[in-house]
Amino acid sequence: MQTKETIVFPDYPNSLLGAISSVLRHYGVQDTHATLPELDQALQKGPRNVVFMIFDGLGVDMLEHNLAPDDFFRRHLRRELTSVYPSTTAAATTTYNSGLSPLEHGSLGWSLYFKEYCRCIDIFPNQDSFSGEEIAGGRANDRFLSYKTIYERIAEAGSGVHTYNLQPSFIPFREGPHTLVHADDVQTYCDTIAEICRNGQQNFIYAYWFEPDSTMHKQGCYTDGIKEMVRRFSAQVEAMCAQLEDTLLIVSADHGLRNVEPQPVYLNEIEELAECLLLPPSMDARAASLFVRPDRKADFPALFQKHLGADFLLLTREEAFARQLFGPGQPHPKSLDFVGDFVACAVGDRYLKYRTPNAPDKGHLYFGHHAGLTAPEMVIPLILCEMP
């Protein structure tokens, strides 16, 4: 087991929320969140094209481990930002797509307990978190966690910019005032972006790619395959930029990852903790929302510290909201539902799971993971490249 690492809390004025807020402010959206001065300055030059590329899991740690200082991504690294919390795709990409903090949009993690269904639901695939059963009656995410997209907000501001959303084909289609483009490899992304930027219009292009996150979950963060992948992405984006004019390129991530112990900690197998819980843990494997029996709240922190204190920081619900762990703003009603009596924030190399009687098996192991408060998970890049 690794020792407890330096804790990096989200710094929302200097986070990915600040990055998307800069873009919204540039296109005339009235937004109350702090923006990033470096990005504001680049946008004030008035580039005809603004391209915002997100590589899932591409934290600063990944750049430093896999790229030489003179490789494109590192050469154009303007500064470091933090992710939101939890540092996980469901929370972070929803912030990118809405311009809202996790507190405001409510998508606090991969698996959330919906009282309306009396079950934990994996919100992106819309399935029961334990049985894998599809949730009937439409997507719970759309029904209870809908939001106005950045494309809708930009259109309402009347800037006249044409907006595009590039995403993998497996992501469900969402209609709006933007042009949706599906592509299934980064080279196609780059070719498509270059083509759009030559159309003579004013364009904002947001492009999300699901790697290297997916492979790091399965293989770990520091394999030869990951190194080759990150180097290839950097080279492909550099070649794309050589074709562009009057364009600002922004590259960042939703979060980073770190290596973890592949075998999870099953909370149901720790009897002293399991008997304290009202519900199975929810939210994320390294950012667990814990609902505790009223008669056990007083002794739960000491028991948790005994079993998991070396790898998790336990915050009370009140502490989490007081330190704005999930961000600033007006809380979404579901955010108040989803946060339990305690939040277990990973600061070591373990992750949590829970096995119910209706779960088909223990599931696959993870060698890399995220959603915790360690630097590899929390610190992401702001890469800027200006093509006059």
Here the CATH number for the domain that contains residue 132 is: 3.40.720.10
* Residue 193 placed within a domain: yes
Kindly state the tokens that stand for 195: 């083509």
Does residue 3 lie in a domain region? no
Decide: helix, strand or coil at residue 380. strand
| Cα gap 178→163, rounded to integer Å | 5
Residues 123 and 193 both lie in one domain: yes
What's the confidence (pLDDT) of residue 8? Answer: 98
DSSP string, 83-122: --SS-SHHHHHHHHHHS--HHHH---SSEEEETTTTEEEE
On whether both 233 and 365 belong to a single domain, the answer is: no
**Alpha-carbon distance 53 to 236, whole Å?**
12
Say what the pLDDT of residue 290 is: 98
Which residue range(s) make up the domain with 355? Answer: 265-369
**Co-location of 42 and 165 in the same domain:** yes
CB atoms within 10 A of CB 228: 11
Q: Is residue 1 part of a domain?
A: no
User: At 193, which amino acid appears?
Assistant: I
Pull the structure tokens for residue 343: 């939040």
Burial of 32 (0-12, 13-18, 19+ CB in 10 A): exposed
The CATH number of whichever domain residue 277 belongs to comes to 3.30.1360
Please enumerate in sequence order all residues whose Cβ is within 8 A of that of 222, keeping only pairs 6 or more positions apart, or say none.
65, 259
Asked if residue 355 belongs to a domain, the reply is: yes
In a domain, 295, yes or no: yes
Residue that the structure tokens 């933007």 belong to: 178
Whether residue 85 is found in the same domain as residue 140: yes
Residues 182 and 113 in one domain: yes
- CA-based max dimension of the chain: 66
Examine residue 2 and state whether it is found in any structural domain, yes or no: no
Report residue 279 as tokens.
């519900």
Q: What is the pLDDT at residue 255?
A: 98
The predicted pLDDT at position 3 comes to 42
On whether residue 36 sits in a domain, the answer given is yes
pLDDT value, residue 362: 63
Beta carbons within 10 angstroms of residue 72's beta carbon: 21
Q: Are residues 155 and 303 in the same domain?
A: no
Output the tens digit of pLDDT for each of the chain's 388 residues: 344 478 999 999 999 999 999 999 999 999 899 999 999 999 999 999 999 999 999 999 999 999 999 999 999 999 999 999 999 999 999 999 999 999 999 999 999 999 999 999 999 999 999 999 999 988 999 999 999 999 999 999 999 999 999 999 988 778 899 999 999 999 999 999 999 999 999 999 999 999 999 999 999 999 999 999 999 999 999 999 999 999 999 999 999 999 999 999 999 999 999 999 999 999 999 999 999 999 999 999 999 999 999 999 999 999 999 999 999 999 999 999 999 999 999 999 999 999 998 777 767 899 999 999 999 999 999 999 999 9
Indicate whether 279 and 226 sit together in one domain: no
Q: Which pLDDT belongs to residue 359?
A: 78
Residues 87 and 159 reside in one and the same domain: yes
Structure tokens at 330: 């007006």
Q: Are residues 333 and 378 in the same domain?
A: no
What Rg do the C-alpha atoms of the chain give, in angstroms? Answer: 21
The domain tally of the chain equals 2
3-state secondary structure of 290: strand
Closest to 260 (Cα-Cα) out of 376, 110, 366: 366
For 64, 110, 112, 156, the CA distances from 288, given in Å and listed in that order, are: 29, 10, 10, 37
pTM (two decimals): 0.96
Residue 229 sits in the same domain as residue 347: no
Asked whether residue 217 falls in the same domain as residue 349, the answer is no
Does residue 301 fall inside a structural domain? yes
Beta bridge partners of 181: 166
Residue 130 and residue 55 share a domain: yes
